[in-house]
């Protein structure tokens, strides 16, 4: 499995925004594309939580 970084998600969201954000009304975006966006949002949020947890966990090891 490939892990995406926070930066990877930023780039992917940038592509989505360039494709749909400037000239498209939200109700004109195909439902399938909205669903992909929602999935990516969930995955990005989960990744950010993992990074915070990793930082907190590594900080605990440094304190001991």
For residue range 11-44, what is the model confidence (pLDDT) as tens digits? Answer: 999 988 888 887 778 888 889 988 998 999 999 9
The token duo for 44 is 């990005």
CA distances from 22 to 3, 27, 29 (A): 29, 13, 12
The token duo for 2 is 């490939």
Q: Which is it for the CA torsion 32, 37, 38, 43, positive or negative?
A: positive
User: Quick check: 63 pLDDT over 60?
Assistant: no
Q: Give the per-residue pLDDT at 18.
A: 86
């Amino acid at each position: 499995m490939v892990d995406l970084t926070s930066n990877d998600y930023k780039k992917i969201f940038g592509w989505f925004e360039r494709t749909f954000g400037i000239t498209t009304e939200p109700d004109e975006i195909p439902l399938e594309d909205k669903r992909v966006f929602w999935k990516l949002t969930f995955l990005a949020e989960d990744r950010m939580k993992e990074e915070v947890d990793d930082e907190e966990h590594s900080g605990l090891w440094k304190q001991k």
